[in-house]
Structure 1
């Protein structure tokens, strides 16, 4: 994966129905822990397609995290709630 493909990668993950967010400043996740077994079985082929399309991205981890944080899609260690709370705070002029 190239640096300029990060936004497309994030959009592809969102489009396949998986939540994606940064955790702190050094990692991200996109295999939603809330998926039922059936939903995970349905999502797995889509996840493979995204993996094949974008390829290795480990070396871009910090850049992907920065992009997700810029979108408000992040949670900090120890925080309660979800990344969606960041969007609500931004809309209300707050800062988290």
Structure 2
């Protein structure tokens, strides 16, 4: 995408953690962005929506056994990426 950057358009890169990517399953007729999950979980956990969006993508892992976030896999069977744990 960066190859086709146009000064008039600005940044044309896509960033899931900024809500500019939609995930969909045509077979089931479903689609979502991280924004929809971040809103739901931010209110549930009492955290900022933007912070939750960052945690749902990339090198962010959540372990429900310890109820903690980390930026590396702990080796625990219950530790999974935020996206897998909360969206997948």
TM range (shorter): under 0.3
Is the radius of gyration larger for structure 1 or structure 2? 2
Higher-strand-fraction structure: 2
Relative contact order: is structure 1 or structure 2 higher (C-alpha 8 Å, sep ≥ 6)? 1
- Calculate the TM-score normalised by the size of structure 2: 0.26
Considering fraction of residues, name the structure with more helix.
1
